[in-house]
Structure 1
Amino acid sequence: MLPILAGLLLCASVVLRPAPASAQASDNEKGALELVDPDVFRACGDPRNLPFSNDKGEGFENKLAELFAAKLGKKLSYTYFPQATGFVRMTLGSYRCDIIMGFPQGDDQAQLTVPYYRTTYALIFKPGSGLEDVTAISDPKLRDKRIGIVAKTPPSTNMAINGLLAHAKSYPLFIDTRSDSSAQAMIDDLARGEIDCGILWGPMAGYYARQANPPMTVVPLTKETTGPQMTYRIGMAVRAADQEWKRTLNRLIMENQTEINKLLISYNIPILDEANMPITSETLAKRP
């Protein structure tokens, strides 16, 4: 994912829970030689970056790691390290883990599995703001709005193209998540009326919107025709040499996609199909 800290901090490891002994990985498992410990699902994540992960195991990436460890009959261990410059090198590249649970397609720092969800940046606002049908930053309804935006993220370029920065409030991209959260600061300003709406990375928009009291409205920005890419496929990252491990994870993703979708929806993550239509509990229920 995009880096959210300004510096490198010390990492910490914690073993969460073992799988039943009867389900432990066998010594002759395909790809076992690629892993430091074939009996342990060794994941890396940020220690304070909900809804993705935290050191209490509360994020959806934590829960997905638990699911995959159980499916493979492995124990689960987590190494936590802030997502800053050098995150991949200091975690996956240093063999402190064998998988990063969330990684955008197109990032060449690591080898990616097949994607397990697709999402986009989203507009977030209080109910009744009259912005429910906005699907692009170019919408005229945004011209006079005070918009919160995280600096140097793709939507900031689209806002500049559309002349929306004059009334914008910027929040820092590079922060120390031990003491700060740009997403939470934006939500707080929105609740106080200091801004009219905000633009956040979809998973953060969905998660923080539901945490607000009352909950806020989230609209995925799916109709952008100019500026940088706004919609991304997210997979899992492994080392370039770990081909069998990647195949194992690909199989798990494809076999458990419905369960993965339900997990993401439970965190209010806006997920999209290839036609940019929302995947919801209702649409999943209609599938055969």
Structure 2
Amino acid sequence: MRPVEAYAQASDKGALELVDPDVFRACGDPRNLPFSNDKGEGFENKLAELFAAKLGKKLSYTYFPQATGFVRMTLGSYRCDIIMGFPQGDDQAQATVPYYRTTYALVTKRGSGLEDVTKIGDPKLRDKRIGVVARTPPSTNMAANGLLTNAKSYPLFIDTRADSSAEAMMDDLAKGDIDCGILWGPMAGYYASKASPPFVVTPLTKETTGPPMSFRIGMAVRPTDQEWKRTLNKLIMENQAEINKLLISYNIPILDETNMPITADTLSKRP
């Protein structure tokens, strides 16, 4: 591999950008579907393939478990030039324009009577056994609504090479150990679609109190890489329709700015 000095390109502000001109160097988690895995099966893997092709670059991946130190050990250590999924507002790196917006969602069995629940304060959830990942925004809202007594908590920080809180929650829902679960939208949509029969996913879009439940997701670059960021912003804006189709193919619940779902049907009706 060439030394990082060979990647240096001067930006219009005079700072050096250590971005490989020939290789689209992405970083991801080796076992974190639906986002990425070391077999290239996640939607972030597929998006990296798309962008590399658009830029005429080869694609390479550096994998590291997405836990404490992920940004520092990947992007910050110049092992890659981009993290494919990164929430706006996180100050660990610089985010591009967002390429999707999603929210936490309720996952239920069809016929449970909970399919139309769109907020945690809904009376239908009282006395229900609810699965929730600890220390996520929904757990705060559940506490405010007195719903933690019967809740089952799953760990937030895990080694994804060995465990998956999302899979464990979906297994418990299938067995009837919980009545419903609350998961981050991409994980809710992906894992609910794997159940037989598939579970119902309802985005929690009606929350009016507590921490935000919906977030815009972009990509992450180093703060010095301004020209690289502009290139990625242009790619996102020019390929948004194709990106949306990719996300929908993974059953990711994506929302517009009015909290209306973006689906294959709504895409087909757009001019």
TM-score by length of 2: 0.94
Equivalent residue, structure 1, for 2:228: 245
User: Of 131, 134, 149, which residue of structure 2 is paired with 1:148?
Assistant: 131
User: Of 71, 76, 84, which residue of structure 1 is paired with 2:54?
Assistant: 71
Counterparts in 2 of 1:148 and 1:28: CA distance versus 1, 3 Å: closer
Aligned-residue sequence identity (percent) comes to: 85
- The yes-or-no answer on 1:160 pairing with 2:143 is yes
- The yes-or-no answer on 1:228 pairing with 2:205 is no
Give the CA deviation at 1:223: 0.6
Equivalent residue, structure 2, for 1:57: 40
User: Of 184, 188, 195, which residue of structure 1 is paired with 2:171?
Assistant: 188
Aligned pairs, number: 263
User: Of 89, 92, 99, which residue of structure 2 is paired with 1:109?
Assistant: 92
Q: Deviations over 1:196-230 (max 9, x none)?
A: 00000000000000011111000000010111110
Residues 1-288 of structure 1 mapped to structure 2, 5 A cutoff: 34-288=17-271
In the alignment, the residues of structure 1 paired with residue 20 and residue 89 of structure 2 have an alpha-carbon distance, to the nearest angstrom, of 28
Q: For structure 2, which runs of at least 5 residues remain unmatched after alignment? A: 2-7
Counterparts in 2 of 1:59 and 1:113: CA distance versus 1, 3 Å: same
In the alignment, the residues of structure 1 paired with residue 88 and residue 181 of structure 2 have an alpha-carbon distance, to the nearest angstrom, of 25
In the alignment, the residues of structure 2 paired with residue 158 and residue 193 of structure 1 have an alpha-carbon distance, to the nearest angstrom, of 23
In the alignment, the residues of structure 1 paired with residue 87 and residue 162 of structure 2 have an alpha-carbon distance, to the nearest angstrom, of 25
Give the CA deviation at 1:37: 2.1
Counterparts in 2 of 1:176 and 1:190: CA distance versus 1, 3 Å: same
- Greater CA drift, 266-275 or 169-178: 169-178
Aligned-partner residue type, residue 264 of structure 1: L
Counterpart contact for 2:132–2:153, Cα < 8 Å:
yes
Aligned-partner residue type, residue 246 of structure 1: K
Q: For structure 1, which runs of at least 5 residues remain unmatched after alignment? A: 1-12, 14-26
Q: Any idea what SS the aligned residue of 1:274 has?
A: coil
CA RMSD between the two structures:
1.8
Q: Any idea what SS the aligned residue of 1:163 has?
A: coil
Give the CA deviation at 1:84: 1.1
Counterpart contact for 2:104–2:204, Cα < 8 Å:
yes
Aligned-partner residue type, residue 89 of structure 2: G
Counterparts in 2 of 1:263 and 1:30: CA distance versus 1, 3 Å: farther
Give the CA deviation at 1:29: 11
In the alignment, the residues of structure 2 paired with residue 69 and residue 130 of structure 1 have an alpha-carbon distance, to the nearest angstrom, of 45
Q: Deviations over 1:222-251 (max 9, x none)?
A: 010111110000000000000000000000
Counterpart contact for 2:10–2:17, Cα < 8 Å:
no
Following TM superposition, the consecutive aligned residue runs of length 4 or more in structure 1 with deviations greater than 4 angstroms are 27-31
Q: Deviations over 1:137-174 (max 9, x none)?
A: 00000002100000111100000000000010011111
Give the CA deviation at 1:35: 3.4
Q: Deviations over 1:91-122 (max 9, x none)?
A: 00100000000000000110110000000000
Give the CA deviation at 1:271: 0.1
In the alignment, the residues of structure 1 paired with residue 44 and residue 20 of structure 2 have an alpha-carbon distance, to the nearest angstrom, of 21
